[in-house]
């Protein structure tokens, strides 16, 4: 996930997309979206796992 985050930040830094050929621009935009979607999904999964763990530990205490 850390690598993907670095990659996304790197791609976002390409502000001069105007200088990139049309085909490459479409490709880059596609991958930025794909990586963003994947990161969001991973964050959600981690959050859900964290919530489950918290619920389990509180269940064990009672």
For residue 48, tell me if it sits in a domain.
yes
For residue 12, tell me if it sits in a domain.
no
39: which 2 tokens? 């990161």
For residue 49, tell me if it sits in a domain.
yes
Residue 20's Cβ-count burial label (10 Å; 0-12, 13-18, 19+) is middle
For residues 61 and 54, the answer to whether their CB atoms sit within 8 Å is no
Instruction: Identify the domain containing residue 36 by its residue range.
Output: 29-62
Structure confidence at residue 9 (pLDDT): 67
Structure confidence at residue 45 (pLDDT): 92
User: What's the sign of the alpha-carbon dihedral 33, 38, 44, 46?
Assistant: negative
For residue 13, tell me if it sits in a domain.
no
Total domain count, the chain:
1
Where the chain has pLDDT below 50, the residues are none
For residue 19, tell me if it sits in a domain.
no
Location of structure tokens 């930040």: 9
For residue 36, tell me if it sits in a domain.
yes
């Amino acid at each position: 996930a850390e690598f993907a985050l670095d990659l996304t930040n790197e791609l976002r830094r390409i502000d001069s997309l105007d200088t990139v050929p049309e085909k490459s621009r479409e490709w880059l935009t596609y991958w930025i979206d794909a990586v963003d979607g994947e990161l969001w999904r991973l964050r959600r999964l981690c959050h859900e796992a964290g919530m489950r763990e918290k619920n389990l530990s509180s269940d064990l205490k009672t």
